[in-house]
Structure 1
Amino acid sequence: MSLPTYDVLLEASAVICTVLQFLSGAVICRKYIQKKSTGESSGLSFVCGFLSTSLWLYYGILTNEHSVILVNSIGIMLFLCYTIIYYMFSVSKKSYLKQFFIVLCIQGATWYYTNSIDLDAEKVRVMGFICCVITVCFFAAPLTMLCHVMRTKNSESLPFPLIAMTFLVSVQWVIYGVIISDTFIQIPNFLGCLLSLLQLCLFVIYPPKSYSGQGYRLEKIVTF
């Protein structure tokens, strides 16, 4: 039985918005290429994005959710490209290789453990729980700047476009998760909505004093 039209539109919108969110990393990589250096910026968000999308892809395969498979297949390719570009211009290649190796170990261990489970329903539950934890951690990443914002009473250090985009994407995936009755999609994205809304409130309470561009750094790249 095919989904009603509004469900199909919501699914398509969620996929497109999430891919656009992933593409924000291209802006950062372009700066690396122009400067021929990553400077003091961290590439951890790229390797973590690669880990998150790879795990969500596996979850999508287990649950046979085509939208989850599509968006995370694109995400894996993008984050892998970002990771390679960061490595090419990184000032600390050994350290970055260690980060990527750790991510590969986590990825391999997760897949191995999940595949060792006989019941398909249990595989889905375990994989869904792992994906939830990782996604919530990524959503909460900018909250590390909370103390700084409250101390300076200035929110310009927060990436407003990314936070706003995260809120929009999270809302769509929550609704989609409700439609398909998938708790593991609903929970992390509902928490993502709350965390994003909290961060957006900081812009009202402590409005940016200037828009020098510092606040638009890529602090995180969220998967749903």
Structure 2
Amino acid sequence: MVETIRLGVAVMGNIASVSLYAAPITTFRRVIRKKSTEEFSCIPYIIGLLNCLIFTWYGLPVVSNKWENFPLVTVNGVGIVLELSYVLIYFCYASSKGKAKVAMIAIPILLVFCITVTVSAFAFHDNEHRKLLVGSVGLCVSVAMYGSPLVAMKKVIQTKSVEFMPLPLSLCTFLACSLWLTYGVLIHDVFVGGPSVIGIPLSILQLALHCKYRKRSVQESNKEDLEKGNLEKVELCELGNGGCGKECDNS
């Protein structure tokens, strides 16, 4: 019975995490469409990539005992593909300054992963110590990943707009954290469940900000659409009047 519950939570955790990794797709469609990264930050995606790399390594038999953490390998393997895609797209459409920023953050991140893999594989000869090293690094990276949206939250508070903090991302973060915390408790693994202790409160804070500022954002968007519509109407009227500048009859 316990094993069935554990498997069920792992499957739901995988689904929630894949949804979390896939949530920024709409954001990057916008980036591709506008050919600009606008005010989106690359930091969450680079840290997310490192998190997926570390926990994929953690779940492999080299570190874990056989395939006891196989669910981590599957979900983070998908995460690597998606997060790497986001970073590459961001790099392609970023300004010269933005490209330099991506490189300055990504290179040390990859070095951290390479050093972790090398040390855990060759310096230690048992799973217990390998898990301790890789899990500790993964725990720190996960806390940083869940903390990275603080940059977006600051932007939301300053602008009173949730435009640059997508709601699907916040919802998926909350669901994924809740499920992985449950799974970590069930398998008695602090490195699997520990990051969610930070992730859950931060995701709740994001949702609270959405509740507070989403209505305002919708109202401002409607106002902009209305103003744009009125402007287009005036321009059409001017064209209809031969460009004389007279306003049309609104009736």
Bin of the TM-score, shorter chain as denominator length: 0.7 to 0.9
Q: 1:40 to 1:183 in 2, by over 3 A?
A: closer
Residues 59, 73 of structure 2: 8 Å contact kept: yes
Q: 1:210 to 1:147 in 2, by over 3 A?
A: same
* Structure 1 counterpart of 2:85, from 77, 81, 88: 81
Offset, 1:78: 1.1
Is 1:140 aligned to residue 144 of structure 2? Answer: no
Residues 24, 169 of structure 2: 8 Å contact kept: no
Aligned-partner residue type, residue 24 of structure 2: G
Higher relative contact order by CA 8 Å / sep ≥ 6: 1 or 2? 1
Residues 10, 71 of structure 2: 8 Å contact kept: yes
Question: Which structure has the greater CA radius of gyration?
Answer: 2
The residue aligned with 2:51 is 52
Residues 136, 192 of structure 1: 8 Å contact kept: yes
Residues 175, 186 of structure 1: 8 Å contact kept: yes
The residue aligned with 1:30 is 29
Q: 1:78 to 1:199 in 2, by over 3 A?
A: closer
Offset, 1:53: 0.4
Query: How high is the TM-score relative to the length of structure 1?
Result: 0.80
Offset, 1:171: 0.8
Aligned-partner residue type, residue 196 of structure 1: S
Quote the Cα distance in structure 1 between the aligned partners of 2:87 and 2:194: 28
* Structure 1 counterpart of 2:132, from 95, 100, 125: 125
How many residues are paired up? 211
Quote the Cα distance in structure 2 between the aligned partners of 1:148 and 1:89: 21
The residue aligned with 1:39 is 38
* Structure 2 counterpart of 1:114, from 120, 124, 137: 120
Aligned-partner residue type, residue 69 of structure 1: V
The residue aligned with 1:222 is none
What are the ranges of 5 or more consecutive residues in structure 2 without an aligned counterpart? Answer: 221-251
Quote the Cα distance in structure 2 between the aligned partners of 1:98 and 1:151: 26
Quote the Cα distance in structure 1 between the aligned partners of 2:157 and 2:107: 36
Quote the Cα distance in structure 2 between the aligned partners of 1:38 and 1:207: 22
The residue aligned with 1:220 is none
Aligned-partner residue type, residue 141 of structure 2: I
Query: How high is the TM-score relative to the length of structure 2?
Result: 0.73
Quote the Cα distance in structure 1 between the aligned partners of 2:83 and 2:210: 29
Residues 156, 209 of structure 1: 8 Å contact kept: no
Quote the Cα distance in structure 2 between the aligned partners of 1:213 and 1:170: 31
Q: 1:101 to 1:128 in 2, by over 3 A?
A: same
Instruction: Name the Cα RMSD after superposition.
Output: 2.8
Is 1:95 aligned to residue 95 of structure 2? Answer: no
Quote the Cα distance in structure 1 between the aligned partners of 2:187 and 2:42: 34
What are the ranges of 5 or more consecutive residues in structure 1 without an aligned counterpart? Answer: 215-224
Offset, 1:97: 2.6
The residue aligned with 2:193 is 186
Residues 155, 202 of structure 1: 8 Å contact kept: no
